[in-house]
């Protein structure tokens, strides 16, 4: 899904600001990002549906001790760690895909694309990150 404009050089998809705090975890987790854009209309496509299906098969941490993730748009995660397809994530993962797609680095989208849980339609609660 790489756009080529102007030919030649590789374009860096994202400025480092997004990854500044969780840069170490980002390579292990999936969608452990910090969006900067405000949300618009929910984008429900193959990737959002794939993440939803995987989310419904997730493993949850027993204890909620991690604190909340607060999205730039105000959406709050729950306070637990979750594992989707063997990767650490938080409950905003579907929300990020639906509302902050432009802030997600291409390598994170590739991880979502690689999920093999089928596709399911997200509900309102899942889109809100709770």
Under 8 Å between Cβ of 30 and 104: no
Binding mask 78-107 for Zn ion (x = CB under 5 A): ---------------------x--------
Q: Is 39 or 79 the residue whose CB approaches Zn ion more closely?
A: 39
Residues 6+ apart with CB under 8 A from 62: none
Q: Tell me how far, at minimum, the Cβ of 92 lies from Zn ion, in Å.
A: 7
Bridge partners of 88, per DSSP, are 83
Selected binder of Zn ion within 75, 94, 104, 112 (CB under 5 A): 75
Under 8 Å between Cβ of 18 and 103: yes
Local structure of 18: helix, strand or coil? helix
Question: Cα(105)–Cα(15) distance, rounded to whole angstroms?
Answer: 9
Q: Scanning the structure block, which residue is given the tokens 């979750």? A: 82
Question: Cα(100)–Cα(97) distance, rounded to whole angstroms?
Answer: 6
Q: How far is CA 127 from the centre of its chain?
A: 11
The reply on whether position 37 binds Zn ion by CB under 5 A is: no
The reply on whether position 76 binds Zn ion by CB under 5 A is: no
The reply on whether position 18 binds Zn ion by CB under 5 A is: no
The reply on whether position 73 binds Zn ion by CB under 5 A is: yes
Binding segment (CB under 5 A) for Zn ion, from list 19-27, 38-46, 49-57, 81-89: 38-46
The reply on whether position 71 binds Zn ion by CB under 5 A is: yes
Q: Is 18 or 71 the residue whose CB approaches Zn ion more closely?
A: 71
- Contacts to Zn ion by CB under 5 A: 39, 71, 73, 75, 99
């Amino acid at each position: 899904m790489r756009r080529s404009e102007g030919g030649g050089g590789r374009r860096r998809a994202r400025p480092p600001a997004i990854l500044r705090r969780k840069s170490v975890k980002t390579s292990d987790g999936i969608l452990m990002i910090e969006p900067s854009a405000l949300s618009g209309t929910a984008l429900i496509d193959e990737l959002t549906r794939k993440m939803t299906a995987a989310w419904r098969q997730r493993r949850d941490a027993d204890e909620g001790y991690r604190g909340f993730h607060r999205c730039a748009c105000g959406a709050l995660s729950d306070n637990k760690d979750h594992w989707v397809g063997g990767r650490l994530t938080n409950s905003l993962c579907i929300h990020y895909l639906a509302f902050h797609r432009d802030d997600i680095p291409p390598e994170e989208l590739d991880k979502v694309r690689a999920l093999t849980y089928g596709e399911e339609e997200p509900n309102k609660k899942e889109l809100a990150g709770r």
